[in-house]
Amino acid sequence: MKTVVISGASRGIGAAAARLFAANGYTVAVNYCTDREGAEAVVRDITAAGGDAFAVCADVADAAAVERLVETVLQRCGRIDVLIHNAGVAQQALLTDTTPDEWRRMLGVHLDGAYHLAHALVPQMVSRHSGCILTVSSMWGEVGASCEVAYSAAKAGLIGFTKALAKELGPSGITVNCVTPGVIDTAMCAAFDEETRTALSEETPLGRLGTPEDVAEALLFLASERASFITGQVLGVNGGFVI
């Protein structure tokens, strides 16, 4: 049985990916930082459906915490086949209203998190000459968003991280790809009023908001043998919002 580690898997895209990967035979390490209740609910859903999953707490911005996370998973499962770096934080603010601490936290979770996870996991993938690393960026990492400079910069950095790491790890048989979700109907969108949600749906060529499951399906494909000759790519899951 293959093992997948999913950061930020207590809700939204991460939770949908955890359930989908488990349904397809993976043992799932459900990472969370603060939402223990959400992570445990995901684990219960998976185990109730006959799958194998367990929750593991770690702030991915903390290198030592990530080392402990990886050690825990390896002790339980013996190997890690797929890493999905999905953990993220969001903020809507003018650049001039963004504090240095907020800026650092944004980069810490998105970019430092990607580095810490890959740095801890890559050696065991290289030793087996196999593995898959997936990052979850955003369409705003491709085109930028007003009042989301920190978020856009962090997500753009993930795209560069993915492309460079793919070239570095390709000779070791490891694929590295990125998905860039558009407007996805998660808790992040729950704060939008109905008028805003309708406007976003209308602005999306396919005429609806995306679902966490839409993104999870793209991740499962990229982790599968069907995508074995795909690496260093950015797959937009945005309903045509950004082309």
With 0-12 / 13-18 / 19 or more C-beta atoms within 10 angstroms meaning exposed / middle / buried, residue 177 is buried
Match 């702030």 to its residue by tokens.
Answer: 59
Residue 185's SS3 state is coil
For 207, list phi and psi in degrees, rounded to 5: 80, 20
Mark whether 115 is an active-site residue. Answer: no
CA 58, 120, 163, 216 dihedral sign is: negative
Look up residue 189 and give its DSSP letter: G
Which residues, 6 or more positions from 55, have their beta carbon under 8 angstroms from its beta carbon? 10, 30, 31, 32, 36, 39, 40, 42, 43
End-to-end CA distance of the chain: 37
> Which of 27, 81, 80 minimizes the C-alpha distance to 55?
27
Residue 40's SS3 state is helix
Task: Give the active site residue among 26, 32, 115, 151.
Answer: 151
| Active site positions, annotated | 151
